[in-house]
Amino acid sequence: MKAFFVKVMAKIVAFFDPRVDHFRKVPIAKGKEAREKAQEKLEHDYEKRLKDAIKEEHKNYTPQSEKDLVEIIRRTPREALSIKDRNLISGAMSFKGRTAAVVMMPRDDITFVKEKDSLTPVALDKLYKTGDTVFPVLNGADKVCGLIRTDKLDLLHIGKNEPVAKLMEHNVAFARIDYTLEELLAVFLRSHTDYVLIIDNNEKLLGYAELSTLIAVLFNREIKDDFDNDASSFAVARRERN
């Protein structure tokens, strides 16, 4: 009985030993600087355990809505998800819910030419000065019947008074203003064109859309590439990567 009592007392004395703080498990250091270092280590260890606990809590988190997913993307470190990738994700997520009106340029920005007109040097100069390269062609009933593309005209073989009807292309595509961007993209792909005229359900011409603008919306950024020799297999094969 005496031996048992001695052991108990020894444990009590050890527990209250002033050299050790058993509640914090941190040695009581001698001196102010040593105590501050001990406290700093304690706080550092606490922060690490807290971060590990949060990470573990959210490891298997499943977003319940699009808003939740956007919030996760927003909080993801840039080391894991670049700004370019964020833009791509957000652009793709919003693609289905937007309409052709988002990418449409208004009718007032269109320069028309008449089917019966002639592309004289003066007329061509006026077209070039607009800064556009595609111009819808109107027939006698003021309906679009073709397109003139100044960037594809062979100026060396064009006479001084060539008729528009001879030089225009007949591949004209239309999309309705309430088309989703996905439906509009399908129009571009089906029609093998990069220029689509936008109309309403009464066939009224409202404006136009270009494929480059649609792709910029999809990627949430403008796609830029200075390389312009895609027609040369030699140049493409030897193109250096940036």
With respect to residue 241, please indicate whether it lies within any of the assigned structural domains.
no
At residue 5, does pLDDT exceed 50? no
- Give the pLDDT confidence score for residue 16 in this predicted structure: 46
- Give the pLDDT confidence score for residue 196 in this predicted structure: 97
**Residue 179 binned pLDDT confidence (cut-offs 50, 70, 90):** very high
The verdict on 7 and 107 lying in the same domain is: no
With respect to residue 22, please indicate whether it lies within any of the assigned structural domains.
yes
Cα gap 167→53, rounded to integer Å: 70
Q: Domain boundary residue among 73, 95, 117?
A: 95
Quick: pLDDT tens for 191-239.
999 999 999 999 999 999 999 999 888 877 777 778 888 888 888 888 8
The verdict on 197 and 154 lying in the same domain is: yes
The verdict on 39 and 107 lying in the same domain is: no
Residue 214: give the domain boundaries: 100-219
The verdict on 154 and 106 lying in the same domain is: yes
Quick: pLDDT tens for 52-100.
665 665 566 677 776 777 777 777 777 777 777 777 776 677 667 789 9
Cβ-proximal residues to 180 (8 Å cutoff; 6+ apart), any chain = 96, 97, 98, 99, 100
- Give the pLDDT confidence score for residue 58 in this predicted structure: 58
DSSP string spanning 68-94?
Answer: HHHHHHHHS-TTTS-HHHHHHHHHHHH
pLDDT over 70, % of the chain: 74
pTM of the complete model: 0.63
Give 160 or 207, the one with higher predicted confidence. Answer: 207
The verdict on 118 and 213 lying in the same domain is: yes
- Give the pLDDT confidence score for residue 46 in this predicted structure: 66
The verdict on 106 and 82 lying in the same domain is: no
CA nearest to 111, candidates 91, 88, 130, 84: 130
- Give the pLDDT confidence score for residue 151 in this predicted structure: 87
The verdict on 82 and 183 lying in the same domain is: no
The verdict on 210 and 139 lying in the same domain is: yes
CATH number at residue 158: 3.10.580.10
With respect to residue 226, please indicate whether it lies within any of the assigned structural domains.
no
Q: For the chain, how many structural domains are there in total?
A: 3
